[in-house]
A and B are shown apart, each in its own frame.
Chain A
C-alpha cells in the first residue's frame, strides 16, 4: 500500500503552483533574447501559433494523463504511462519524466542559488562601486568556485547547498503545506517585482540616471516586426522551442501535479489559466524588463552582442551594473526585485521538479515524504556538484542540452503518440473534458491527433539535423553540414575544435588570431587571443595554462592559426568533461530505469501473492 496521501489545498493554489512550474528563468532571460534574434516583434506570430497548436494541446494531454494515472494510484510518469497501454515499453519511456526533472534540477538549482547570492549582494551594496567590467568579472569570479566574493570559502557551493536544503525542506512539507504555499506567495510577489521593473524600464529617460537612450527604444527594438523573418524555418523552430520550454511540458512534472486531482475535478480551465498566466509573465513582463533597461544604458549594438552570449550573460553580468546607476537605495530595491523575481520563478519550477521522483519513491517503495524529499536533495546534489565545479568546462551546458532540451522533445513526442494514437483520442478526449468547467473547441481533437505530433516530429527532426548557419533553404543532402548544436553535430563533437583528445601533451589554438597578451588574474594564468571577425570587430578568447606544468610556445604579437600549438605539457581537455557529463546523465537514466524495473517486479510479485 502506497504511503502517498498527498493532496492540493485549494484550486487557486494548484493553478498558481502549475503556473509557477511553467514560469522560470526562461520567461525573463530566454524569451526576450529569442525574440531579438528571430525577427523582433514578428517572432510573436509563430510564437502564439505555437502556443495554440503545441502548447495548449500538450498542457491538455499532460493534465489529462496525470489525472488518469492518479486515479489508479500512480503519481509519476513510468506507471502513469504503463496504465495507458499494455505494452511494457511505456513505463521505460516514462523514465524520461523522472530523469529530466532530476537532471534539470541539478543545474537549475545552481542558477537558483546565484539568485540567492545576488539578492544578498544587492542588499549589501556589493555592486555599487563597480564598473561594468567589475560586475562582469564578479560573475566570472563567482563561477570560479575556488574564488570568494564575500570572504566565505567555496561560496558558490555554499549557496548551492543552501538552495538545495531550502528546496528539500519545502518538498518535505508536502504539496499543500509546502509547494502550494510557496506558489501562493511567490507568484504574486514575482508579478509585483516584474511590474515595478517593467515600469522602471519603460519610463527610463535618456540623460537621467546615467541612461543614454529612452527605455522605449528597447521596446521599439524588441517589437518592431521584421515580417520577412517569417519565411525562415529557423524562426518557426525557435518559436516552437520557446513555447515548449516555457510551459515546462515534456518533463513529467505537470502529470505529477495533476495526478493528485480527482476524476471529476476540472483540468481544462485549470490548464488554460495556468498556461495563460505563464504567457502573461513572459510576453507582458518578460519583454519589458531586461531589454528596455539594458538598451537604455548600453545601446542596441552592445545589447545584440550581449544577447549572443545568452540571457544568463545579460541577467547576471550586466543588470547589477545598470541598477547601480539608480542610486544606492533604488539599486538595492531593483536588485532585490530582479533577483527575487528570478528566485521565485526558479524555486516554483525546481519544486515541481522534485515531485515526480518523490511520487515514484512514495508510490513504489513506500518511502515517507520526508525521506523521499531527502532522496531527491541528495540525487540533485550528486548530479549538481559537477556543474558547480566544472561549470566553465561545459558540464552545465551538456546537462542543459541533453536533459533540458533533447529529452523534453523526445518525451513530449512519445507521450503525444501514446495519448492520441495508442490510448486513443476518444478515450483521451473524454479524459480532457471530464468535469471541465469550460467548453474546449472541437478543433482541438484534430489538433491533438494530427497537428501536435506532426509539429513535435518536425521540431525533433529539426534539432536532429539542424544545418550549419541555419540555412534550411539550401536543401542539398550531399552537402548537408550539421550545425554544432544539432543532435548529430553534438554526438560528433562538432563544436569541440582541435583539442579533441581527453588527455593530450599539447594545447592547440581554437581560433585564428593574434596573441594579445599573456596575463595573470586571481592567481591564474591565461593566453589572450584576439580573433578578427569578418565584420571588422574583434572577439577575445582566453586560454588558461599552468606555468609549473606547461611550456608556452607563443608570445605576445604572434599570429596563430586554428590548430597551432599554444603550449605543451599535460592537458585535460574540455571534451573529457563533456563526455563525463554525458556519461553521468546516461548513468542516471539507467539507474532510474532499473528502479522502474524493480518496482514493476515488486508489483508483479504482489499481484501473484494476492491471487
Chain B
C-alpha cells in the first residue's frame, strides 16, 4: 500500500473504532435511571 493510503486508512479506522468503543462502553457503564424507566429488564430485577 502506498503511504498516503495507509495513513489515511489507519487514522480514519482508528478514530472511528475509538469513538464506537468509547460511546458503547459509556452506554454499558451508565447507571440505570430511577424507575419508571424505559427498560423492562430492570423491572424484573426489582421483583
A positions within 8 Å CB-CB of B: 7-15, 40-41, 44, 48, 176, 216, 219-220, 222-225, 260-262, 264-266, 269-270, 272-273, 276-277, 279-280, 283-284, 287, 435, 437-438
Question: In the complex, what's the smallest C-beta–C-beta distance from A313 to chain B, in angstroms?
Answer: 25
B16 and A223 within 8 A (CB) = no
Chain B residues 12 to 45 lying within 8 A of chain A, measured CB to CB, are 12-13, 16-17, 19-20, 23-24, 26-28, 30, 32-33, 36-41
Given A11-B30, A12-B28, A273-B24, A223 and B38 contact (CB-CB distance below 8 Å): no
> Cβ of A437 and Cβ of B30 under 8 Å apart?
yes
Contact B27 A273 (CB under 8 A): yes
Give the distance to chain B from A222, nearest Cβ to Cβ, in Å.
Answer: 8
Q: How far is the CB of A412 from chain B (nearest CB, A)?
A: 23
7 closest Cβ contacts across the A-B interface?
Answer: A273-B23, A223-B5, A280-B20, A223-B9, A10-B41, A224-B5, A220-B1
Complex Cα distance, B23 from A219, in Å, reads: 27
Residues in A neighbouring B9, C-beta threshold 8 A: 41, 219, 223, 287
B37: A residues at CB distance < 8 A: 262, 264-265
Given A265-B33, A435-B33, A438-B26, verify A220-B2 contact (CB < 8 Å). yes
Please, which residues of chain B bring their CB within 8 A of the CB of A264? 33, 37
Least CB separation from B1: chain A residue: A220
Contact call A8/B40, Cβ cutoff below 8 A: yes
Give the residues in chain A near B4, CB-CB below 8 Å.
41, 224-225
**Could you write out 16 A-B pairs with CB less than 8 Å apart?**
A8-B38, A9-B41, A40-B5, A41-B9, A219-B1, A225-B8, A262-B37, A264-B37, A265-B37, A273-B26, A273-B27, A277-B23, A277-B24, A279-B20, A287-B9, A437-B30
CA separation between A64 and B1, bound complex, in Å? 43
- A41 proximity list for chain B (CB < 8 A): 4-5, 8-9
Chain A residues with CB below 8 A from B24, complex form: 15, 273, 276-277
CB pair B28 A9 closer than 8 Å: no
Query: Which A residue sits closest to B32, measured CB to CB?
Result: A11
Task: Give the complex CA separation of A325 and B32 in angstroms.
Answer: 50
The CA of A40 and the CA of B5, in the complex, are separated in Å by 9
With A223-B1, A223-B8, A437-B26 known to touch, is A7 a contact of B16 (CB < 8 Å)?
Answer: no
Report whether over half of chain A's contact residues are helix, strand or loop; otherwise say mixed. helix
Docked pose: A220 CA to B4 CA in angstroms: 9
Given contacts A7-B39, A7-B40, contact A266 B30 (CB under 8 A): yes
Query: How far, in Å, is A445 (CB) from chain B's closest CB?
Result: 21
Bound Cα distance A89, B18 (Å): 43
- How distant is A276 from chain B, measured CB to nearest CB, in Å? 4
Within the complex, the shortest CB–CB distance from A152 to chain B, in Å, comes to 41
Q: Given A7-B38, A9-B39, A269-B27, do A224 and B16 touch, yes or no (CB 8 Å)?
A: no
Nearest neighbor of B12 in chain A, beta-carbon distance: A44
**Min CB gap B30→A, angstroms:** 5
Compute how far the CA of A456 lies from the CA of B43 in the bound complex, rounded to whole angstroms.
41
Contacts of B12 in A (CB 8 A): 44, 48, 283
Minimum CB–CB distance from B38 to chain A (whole Å) comes to: 5
Residues on A with C-beta less than 8 A from B19 are 276, 279
With most chain B CB atoms within 10 A of its CB, the pick from A13, A41, A176 is A41
* B3 → A minimal CB distance (Å): 10
Q: How far is the CA of A277 from the CA of B33 in the complex (A)?
A: 23
Inter-subunit contact B2/A224 (CB<8 Å): yes
Alpha-carbon separation in the docked complex, A41 to B6 (Å): 10
Which of A7, A9, A222, A269 is in CB contact (< 8 Å) with B30?
A269
Residues of chain A with a CB closer than 8 A to B39's CB: 7-11, 13-14
CA distance A225 to B12 in the complex (A): 12
Cα–Cα, bound, A435→B34 (Å): 11
Chain B proximity of A217: nearest CB distance (Å): 8
How far is the CB of B41 from the nearest CB of chain A, in Å?
Answer: 4
> B residues within 8 A CB of A225?
4-5, 8
Contacts of A266 in B (CB 8 A): 30, 33
Q: A13–B40 Cα gap in the complex (Å)?
A: 11
Bound form: Cα–Cα A273–B28 in Å: 10
Contacts of B17 in A (CB 8 A): 280, 284
Q: Which residue of B lies closest to A175 (CB)?
A: B40
Taking A41-B9, A273-B20 as known contacts, 13 extra A-B pairs with beta carbons closer than 8 A to each other, sorted by chain A number, are A9-B40, A48-B12, A176-B40, A219-B5, A223-B5, A225-B5, A269-B26, A272-B23, A276-B19, A276-B24, A280-B20, A435-B33, A437-B30
